[in-house]
Structure formats: structure tokens, C-alpha cells
Amino acid sequence: MKEISIAFGGVHAVDHASVDLYPGEVVGLLGHNGAGKSTLIKCLSGAYRADSGEIRINGDRVQIHSPRDARKYNIETIYQTLALADNLDAASNLFLGRELVTPLGFVDDDAMEAETRKIMGRLNPNFRKFKAPVKALSGGQRQSVAIARAVYFNARILIMDEPTAALGVQETAMVTELIHELKKQGLGIFLIDHDIHSVMQTCDRAAVMKNGKVVGTVKIDQVTEDDLLGMIILGKCPPGAIPGPGAINPEIAAA
């Protein structure tokens, strides 16, 4: 995403922001509420249409005006609310709106459950509650269902909006393991998060936003949590960071 800008009623929610993502990589997007990270990523998911800038996938410029356009380019989004139907089981949620049918046109529940068992076997072998409505599942198990849905439909770029929010320690560890498994399978993941500790454990790089601008991008193994805090609060880039237009003094930061 290069030089993306979008304004609402004259307020620049995102101002010339640029981020990139490679296969098998997790890039964290950090910043205070209102920093612009969710708005930026919604331009990629098709929820918003950028006023200017460009999106390139595999080097080719693409137009993403709707979530359907995003799916065409194998971009899937897992929002914090998960968008699951609480009264339906895992298989019905996995295929919601894209149900498998028999030759006679009836919904093929057996085929959907078989496919769900296969994908869960890859992602979360300990998942057992295939018949239970998802409202009976734990937060980590619900995340597993949402992630399985994205992966089953051939996501290559996965957007995750605070996937561990409101989860306990064990469930957070489960989701972290899922993310590492997706990395091994070659997915590129944008991870929107407020938890710096989680980002340090999960991400390869992090891009920090402040006031709609990208402060800078860093490699996680080259920074500390304090460095990230300095970027979020002060807009100050640590040594080795690639500064953006939101850095306090990009020339000094790059020196």
C-alpha cells in the first residue's frame, strides 16, 4: 500500500501512509485509538475506498472498491467481532454464504463437516466441538473457526484485527500458535494490535501510526518494547527504523 490517503469531512484519517507485506510474514500495525491503522487496513479489505494512493499485489496495481474485490485477490479479514453466527456450528460458519450443495441442490452438511475437520486438523488438531454452536466455544476456539474460514477460501493476505483482545493467557497462546502455523503456510498477515508484548512475540516487523501518518517501520528483532512505545507516544524512530512522514524528524531518525 503506497501513499494511501483518506479523509472524512475534512479530517485526514490516513495521510500518505505506506506499508508493505511479504509472504510468510506478520506485520503489526500499532498506534493509539484514532491513529489511522484500522482505517488504513479497511482500504485494503474493501470496507473503505482510499481518496488517493495505490495498492499493488504481486507487483500489479489493483483496484479494491469492496470486500468482494478484496476476496478476488485472496484477501480475507478477521474482525474483532469475528462475524460468526452464534447459533450455528463450526462447519455452518465456515461455509456461511458459500455452502456446499448436493447434486440436487440441497445443503450438504456432511461434506461441509468433513472439510471443516480437514482444515481444523491442519490448524488446531485439538478442536473437537464440531457439533456445538459457536456460542458454546471458548474465545480461542471461535478464533480458530474464523481463521479456518479465511484459510479454507485460499487467503494469501490475512488481516487480523486485535485477535487476542479479551482472551485469557492460554487462549492467547493458542491464537499465537495459529498465527505461526499460518506463517509456515506462506500467508502474509497484517496484525492490528494494541498489545506491544503480543506484537513482540508474534510479528516480524511493525509499522507504527500516529495522527494518520506512518511514524516508521521496524524489524521486531532489532527493537525493544520501549522503542515501540517511543514511536507510539512520541513519534520518535529508533536507530535502524525506516522512518515515515509521521516521524518527529525523519532525517535525524534515519541517521
Angle 139-152/169-184 helices, nearest 10 degrees? 20
Write down the CATH superfamily of domain 2-74+156-254: P-loop containing nucleotide triphosphate hydrolases (3.40.50.300)
Element (H, E) at 169: helix 169-184
- Report the alpha-carbon distance of residue 142 to residue 136 in Å, rounded: 9
pLDDT tens track for 209-235? 999 999 999 999 999 999 999 999 999
DSSP for 28-69, please give it.
EEE--TTSSHHHHHHHHHTSS--SEEEEEETTEEE---SHHH
> Whole-number mean pLDDT of the chain?
89
Domain boundaries, the chain: 2-74+156-254, 84-154
Return the closest-CA partner of residue 138 out of 147, 127, 149: 127
The tens digit of pLDDT for each residue in 5-45 reads 999 988 899 999 999 999 999 999 999 988 999 999 999 99
Distance of CA 37 to the CA centre of its chain: 11
pTM score of the predicted model? 0.86
Identify whether the C-beta of residue 75 lies closer than 8 Å to the C-beta of residue 154. no
- For 144-158, write each residue's pLDDT tens digit: 888 888 888 888 999
State pLDDT tens for residues 99-130: 999 999 999 999 999 999 998 888 888 888 99
CB count, 10 Å around CB of 103?
6
Distance CA(225)–CA(197), nearest Å, equals 7
Q: Residue 138 CB: number of other CB atoms within 10 A?
A: 14
